[in-house]
Amino acid sequence: MKQRKAFYRTIGALTLAVILAAAGIVSFAGAEDGAVPPGDSDPMPEESGLAELQPLLEAAEVDDMEGMDLEELTAAVAEEAMSEYLNSETGFHMQYPSSFSFSEEGGVAMATGEDGQIFMLIECMPKGEGLTAEMIQQAVMLDSPDAKIQHYEESGCVRFDRRQDDGTLLVDLYVITETKIHHISISCAESAEEMLYTWLDYMIHSITTDETDVG
């Protein structure tokens, strides 16, 4: 329980930084022009898709793969090892490992995996006027200058990886739409990193948002 509370405090700090940026309370006037790199997109290209999917096939224990094309193999992974999270009120959708235990509290979704070694939180907040991915990046880098950044053009996700002093891996994902910021925070013990990295890119590529007729 103490570890989970500490995780939520960490999440709160990053969320606060983003909200302050959106409100214009945090000023980035001192940043040099071009200091925020655009990053490289990281879609799953057809030619390398099978190689990237191989660890997932092994983890999902998919049998009888002979003759399957990439689309069929991807569908097999989804069927055997993934569940779907959909928030009809915000239009956010993502696949996650079926081994995770999910719960919701106060409009926030929480998940636990690998016997409590992985915690994940999914939240949504209104987008501030003029807020951009670059502003979020600058806010995060002020809080964690050593964070590693990756952009996923296909899902519109920006990912930040950083490590705490105790070795815990923290991953923050942000997806910005016309009206909302979707924030996924993950805390992972070192002993569970291999499992997390096996599934993380797949989870990110599965993210979709649809604000049409949301509740």
Q: Which domains does the chain have, with CATH numbers?
A: 2-28+39-45+84-193+201-209 (3.40.1000.10)
Between the two ends of the chain, the Cα-to-Cα distance in Å is 33
Q: Bridge partners of 160?
A: 149, 172
CA atoms lying within 13 Å on the CB side of residue 152: 23
Beta strands, E only, the chain: 82-87, 92-97, 101-105, 108-113, 118-126, 148-152, 157-163, 169-176, 180-188, 208-209
Residue 146 has a pLDDT of 92
Q: How do residues 124-175 score in pLDDT, each as one tens digit?
A: 999 888 888 889 889 888 988 999 999 998 888 999 999 999 999 999 999 9
Q: Give the CA diameter of the chain.
A: 58
> Would the pTM of this model clear 0.75, i.e. be above it?
no
Dihedral over alpha carbons 41, 158, 160, 117 (to 10 degrees): -110
Report d(CA 86, CA 121) in Å as an integer.
14
In sequence order, which ranges of 61-192 are alpha helices (DSSP H)?
Answer: 70-81, 133-143
Low-confidence ranges of the chain (pLDDT < 50): 1-47
CA dihedral sign of residues 54, 57, 62, 68? negative
Residue 69 has a pLDDT of 76
Comparing C-alpha atoms, which of 42, 22, 53 is closest to residue 157? 42
Give ∠ CA 201-89-22 in degrees, rounded to 5.
70
